[in-house]
Structure 1
Amino acid sequence: MRLLVAGGDPVDAGKTTFAVGLAARLRAGDDPLAAFKPRAGNDRWFDHGDVRRAASEGRLYGKDVRRLLDAADGDATHERRNPIHRLWRPTPGTTGLLGEPGRTFLVDRVRTPDGDEWVVNGTADVPDRLRRDLPLAGARRVESVRAVNDAMRDLHLPALDRVAGDVREAGEEGVALVESYGDVATPLREVRFDAVAVVDPGRCRVYGGERWAVARDAATGGREEGKLEVRVGRVTDMLDPVSTHDLRPLPAAERADPDAVADAYREAYDALVATARDR
């Protein structure tokens, strides 16, 4: 079984809290569980403590991935389940290399079969401490959109292909739980999911995986033609959900406890799993 959690809001939909509770719910079952967040990122300013913690280990990962893997109670590394991680920094009043208003990317960490490869934004001011803590001496330096696209072709896309294979295998052997990023409808284009949960503040909409895939493909002209990331809203505009569920706001203590989240959102989780099994 393959389950996808996507966000209906690009910034703070609550999908990680929902995914963490779902992992706890699935962990209590009989099937082996593997959790994935293929792409993630954090901000050196807003997530400074998390960045410092990871960089002090010579690594780059975020708290969302850590929470998800802890809830799934597996032994996979952050890098295996989150093969692409991007570090941003705010740049108020300017546009970043990739056209990002008010921020720009500093470093990408990409998992390869031989370990991590690093991509550094050559147009950005990477802080000295990061250069000391992270193994950036041999990093690939990019100074144009074309160079970024070349790096994505050489590094990022093969990394996503590898994690897609892991997701398919995990879904055959047990349950594969994938959390998307931002409000992107499908983080792995070549994986078909059995059911999809779209999380917004205060609600969860459940969709059948096959219909989700058809709508996603239609939004980009088909599996072979579609190259751009499709936003959740474009897909949900084409579909009616199987069911919709209220999600009550949780105090910090409950959000920090995966089992408490699993209990609070039990109705939505049961509906998602039932939809996947009825595919």
Structure 2
Amino acid sequence: MVSVLIVGALPYDSGKTTFALNLIREAIEEGFDVGVSKPVGGFNGWYQYEFLKKSIEFGLLIGEDAYKLHNAAKSIDRIELESPVTVLLLPPDPERVGWRVSSYMGISFQNQVVIVRISGLHRTIHYYIPENLNKLTKPLRGEVGKLISVLNPKPLSVGKLDDILSESRKIADEVLRYLEHYHDLMVIESYANYAAPTFGSLDVDVVVVVAPSKAVIFDGEQYKRAVSLYFNLKSPWIVTTEDVLPLLRPRKIVEFGPEGPKNSLEKVLQVVDASSSL
């Protein structure tokens, strides 16, 4: 089994999912049984309203990236296991901050989370954040109300959110280990520009760091050692790729256009082969 972690060089719009989808399609064409994982992810119900509606349809909080990975892999795995920790964010009412753009843009992640799903091997739990729900405009509260009526989530305070998310990463790693047993190639996608979504997702053969039109491929063990330099201070989901990249030398560099990379599978496997021969 070959495992690949895909992370972003930028906080957003790096192209992680574009790279992952091309890698998955190439691998399937070559006959690989591909597994996918978005261990920790989220989506904004304002900008990605389609997936708020899909979550109502599925009776399960589902993010856009996980949905795309699942379909590209033609997966028969349960989508909630492929994306065990998923959050729904929504922007609060701008009138509450006096229409001040700087204050509005600076609203923290914790104060935008409205619903959280945590799925382990044996059960799924949804939570909702009443304090954040009450900060929404009336139309958005109505949309979330429809989802809440389907999911029947448990209430959770903002103050407990970080603890719940921190504990959930252990569950995400347990699920990831389970999925890896059933596939030839495991494609794991991180979020934003953080070095890894969980501790377990660092145990991979290859790491691909993606920026618009360019990706650099690293040996997984070397990448993990570089990230581990920060473990005494931070967890890998707080360390950014900007911290790690200066410590590493890429094994391969891939340039690509808007349609995504070509022959990415070949380059990934070349790095795996080179690492195994050392």
- TM bucket, shorter chain: 0.7 to 0.9
Does the 8 A contact of 1:95 with 1:104 survive in 2?
A: no
Deviations 1:216-245 (CA, angstroms, capped at 9, x unpaired): 1013338xx747521111111211211212
Match of 1:184 in 2: 194
Q: What is the TM-score normalised by the length of structure 1?
A: 0.83
How many pairs align? Answer: 258
Same amino acid, percent of matched pairs: 19
Structure 1 letter corresponding to 2:270: A
Deviation string, structure 1 residues 41-98 (Cα, Å, up to 9, x no partner): 1111101122112223322112221111111112112201001111001134557998
User: Residue 199 of structure 1 corresponds to which residue in structure 2?
Assistant: 210
Q: 2:22·2:264 contact (CA, 8 Å) conserved in 1? A: no
Q: Is the 8 A contact 1:7 1:200 kept in 2?
A: yes
Give the drift of 1:17: 1.0
Structure 1 residue runs of 5 or longer lacking an equivalent are: 251-260
Q: Is residue 133 of structure 1 aligned with residue 150 of structure 2?
A: no
Partner amino acid, structure 1, of 2:171: A
More strand as a share of residues? 1
Is 1:10 the counterpart of 2:6? The answer is no
- Counterpart residue type for residue 118 of structure 1: H
The amino acid of 2:49's aligned partner reads: H
For residues 101-128 of structure 1, the C-alpha deviation after alignment (integer angstroms, 9 at most, x for no partner) is 9x61111111134432112113112623
Is the contact between residue 57 and residue 133 of structure 1 (CA under 8 Å) also seen in structure 2? no
- Matches of 1:226 and 1:179, distance apart in 2: 17
Residue number among 114, 118, 124 corresponding to 1:106 in the alignment: 114
Of the candidates 254, 264, 271, which is equivalent to residue 245 of structure 1? 254
1:32 is aligned to 33
CA contact (8 A) 1:196 1:206 kept: yes
- RMSD value, Cα: 2.5
Change (3 A) 1:228 1:5: closer
1:219 equivalent to 2:230? Answer: yes
Aligned residue for 2:43, secondary structure, equals: strand
* TM-score, normalised with respect to structure 2: 0.83
* Letter paired with 2:4: L
How far apart, in 2, do the equivalents of 1:187 and 1:8 lie?
Answer: 14
CA contact (8 A) 2:34 2:187 kept: yes
Pair 151,9 (structure 1): closer, same or farther in 2 beyond 3 Å:
same
**1:38, 1:160 within 8 Å by CA — same for their partners in 2?**
yes
Cα gap change, 1:95 to 1:165, in 2 (>3 Å): farther
What is the alpha-carbon distance in structure 1 between the residues aligned to residue 236 and residue 265 of structure 2? 31
Secondary structure, counterpart of 2:222 in structure 1: helix
Contact 1:97-1:105 at 8 Å conserved across structures: no
The residue aligned with 1:236 is 245
Structure-2 residue corresponding to 1:257: none
Q: How much has 1:136 moved relative to structure 2?
A: 4.8
One-letter identity of the residue aligned with 2:217: V
Are 2:32 and 2:185, in contact at CA under 8 Å, matched by a contact in 1? Answer: yes
- In the alignment, the residues of structure 2 paired with residue 81 and residue 98 of structure 1 have an alpha-carbon distance, to the nearest angstrom, of 29
How far apart, in 2, do the equivalents of 1:161 and 1:26 lie?
Answer: 24
Greater helix fraction, Structure 1 or Structure 2? 2
Question: Structure 1: how far apart are the matches of 2:187 and 2:237?
Answer: 23
Cα distance in 2 for partners of 1:11, 1:213 equals 22
Asked if the contact 1:96–1:105 (Cα under 8 Å) also holds between the matched residues in 2, the reply is no
Could you tell me which of 140, 161, 171 is aligned with 2:173?
161
- State yes or no: 1:121 paired with 2:129: yes
